[in-house]
Amino acid sequence: MRKVEVTFRPHDKVTRVPEGTTLFNAAHWIGLPIESTCGGRGTCGKCRVRVLAGEVEITPADRRWLSEEELAEGWRLACESVLAGDVECFVPALMRVPKAATMGLSRFVLLEPNVHKVHLVLDPPTLEDARSDVERIRAALEAEGYGVRIELPVLRHLPIVLRTAGFDVTAVLCGEHLVAVEPGDTTDVSYGVAVDVGTTTVVATLMDLTTGAAAGVASNLNAQAPFGADVISRIARTRMEETAAAELQRTVIGTINGLLEEVYAAAGVGPERTYEMVVAGNATMLHLLLGVDAHAISVAPFVPAFREPLDLPAAALGIRIHPEGRIQLLPSIGAYVGADIVAGIQATGLTREPELRLFVDVGTNGEIVLGNADRVLATASPAGPAFEGGHIRAGMRAADGAIEGVSLTEGEVRLQVIGDAEPRGICGSGLIDAVAQLRLAGLLDASGRLVAPEQVPDHPLADRLVELDGMRAFLLAPDVPLTQRDIRELQSAKGAISTGINALMEILGVTAADLHQVLLAGSFGTYINPASARVIGLVPPVPVDRIVAVGNAAGEGAKMALLSFREREMAFDLIRRVEYVELSGQEGFNEAFLQAVRFPELEEVT
């Protein structure tokens, strides 16, 4: 994709962005705010910039807000100025200083939500001014720089509210949609919800849109779990059972509404003051949320029904925010690099900075993003369920009794068990630790084969090496063995992700030495020991202090998109900026995978 250069005066800031980007978005990539109230829709006329060099076509919105003299002088609306070549422009100083919040990976976010509350004191109708109620409120909002669409449910209440309130009201807009007209001045109360719909867990955060603070957060298991532990299983159920798709939609919406009740109760807020929800999730979860057939995602060539951002009425889904509120789904890059990864990229700022960074969301499907402000690649690797305890003899999810950390030191096995309970199984982080420790202790070779006890008779842990069902194993605890087959499962899972990482690095022509950071995302990524991840070759051999857990980056990105329409526009643009790489189409993929299944030599990672 061709890049164009944009120079902003008098700030002397220069950036290179893909052709087709707007001046408004180009400025935001480098943290330069431009005046706007409409969210970059061309309806407020405030984002005026003057083109000093280069060509920017005049649009109908430019002609609406700018005089012929201004147009001749080079003035344009930044949100309408689509870049086709290099441009130099002048950006006027902000008329106001916007509020800001720190979100994501310590990112500074301008607090400019898509929800606007505008207090209006209107002149009542007279015989001389008999405009309709719609004309009256539309004119008042347009004078404030807001375009507006008024739907039937709001129209039904409009005459009553205006007259009951003596024409002293607050208009609530979500983008261009008039969500409500409330009596009096309610501008100090405005909420929205950011939701991360995960395959396993759903997280909802109620955000105060006037301050940028979280007012409440709640999480719960996705009630779709009985239909299958992974997305392929759930898609398969929709093909086998006629009612499954509707039931999957009902259960995930039930999960979301249950979380809303929790956060409302915690914050003392009701749905009538919650006007918007921003949703992130993988492509399959978003299809199932909307009740859209997801079968094509599961078969080649893996095509989703939609990957664009969608703006939907809450009432259409039965989600309990304001009845006329809006649901914004973030876009997906592809069938297996979904809106959760788009949100994660946004939260980490990976595409905005010159340093090269690697983003890995470790799970059943491992999503990988590599790049910087110049170029970004993404891919997905089918890692399988080993990281979540699946296909592991003593595997279990991260719950009480699960071993989550292992240390083999001074001839002792030291276990960290969730809930300080007796160990009854091992979860993904413990599995990675255990295998790494066995490797460091000399009980596991680079091919992944456990040694036999007779090979290491003097080793202090030799008595832990046993045979179960004709297979070598290591006893972490009396009832928690780690078998040779378990190690092979982990090798396959880490090999898939490592192959994806290596493929992207090869395309960009970079090595581990070029990586500024490795970002481990998701709840699982938070609990992985970085040193262990490096020992088994899950991540490239970078210094441990460069491996950073970024937690629920998807949820953070959703919150950023809720709090700032600029951040949202940048997230929308990512599906054009990020290049998707299909691993199965890469030459030598099978050979690369077989090589990645092996563990690195210890001198490379210690």
Q: Label each residue of 77-142 as H, E or C.
A: EHHHCECCCCEEEECCCCCCCCCEEEECCCEEEECECCEEEEEEECCCCCCCCCCCHHHHHHHHHH
Which is higher by pLDDT, 34 or 157? Answer: 157
Average pLDDT (123-130) is 96
What local confidence, expressed as pLDDT, does residue 101 receive?
Answer: 63
Q: Which CATH architecture has domain 115-183?
A: Roll (3.10)
Give me the residue label for tokens 């259409």: 316
Q: Beta partners for 377?
A: 370, 579
Class of domain 191-339: alpha beta
Any idea where the domains of the chain sit in the sequence?
A: 3-95, 115-183, 191-339, 340-385+490-605
pLDDT tier at 3, thresholds 50, 70, 90: confident
CATH 3.20.10.10 is the classification of domain 340-385+490-605: no
Class of domain 3-95: alpha beta
Average pLDDT (242-251) is 95
Residue 96: pLDDT over 60: no
pLDDT in tens, 492-524: 999 999 999 999 999 999 999 999 999 999 877
What local confidence, expressed as pLDDT, does residue 104 receive?
Answer: 61
pLDDT tier at 95, thresholds 50, 70, 90: low
Residue ranges in 120-243 assigned as alpha helix (H): 133-143, 152-164, 231-240
The CA distance from 88 to 110, in Å, is: 24
- At 505, list the tokens: 């690095």
| Amino acid identity at 42 | G
Same fold, 191-339 and 340-385+490-605: yes
Nearest alpha-carbon partner for 398 in 297, 304, 526: 526
Q: Which residues of 527-544 are buried (b: 16+ CB within 10 A; e: fewer)?
A: bbbbebbbbbbbbbbbee
List, in order, residues 6 or more apart from 538 with CB less than 8 Å away: 362, 432, 494, 497, 498, 528
pLDDT in tens, 540-557: 999 999 999 888 899 999
Residue 319: pLDDT over 90: yes
Quote the mean pLDDT of the chain. Answer: 92
Reported in sequence order, the residue ranges of 143-273 that DSSP labels E, i.e. its strands, are: 168-174, 177-183, 191-197, 201-208, 214-221
Residue 100: pLDDT over 70: no
Q: Which residues of 170-208 are buried (b: 16+ CB within 10 A; e: fewer)?
A: bbbbbbbbbbbbbeeeeeeebbbbbbbbbbbbbbbbbbb
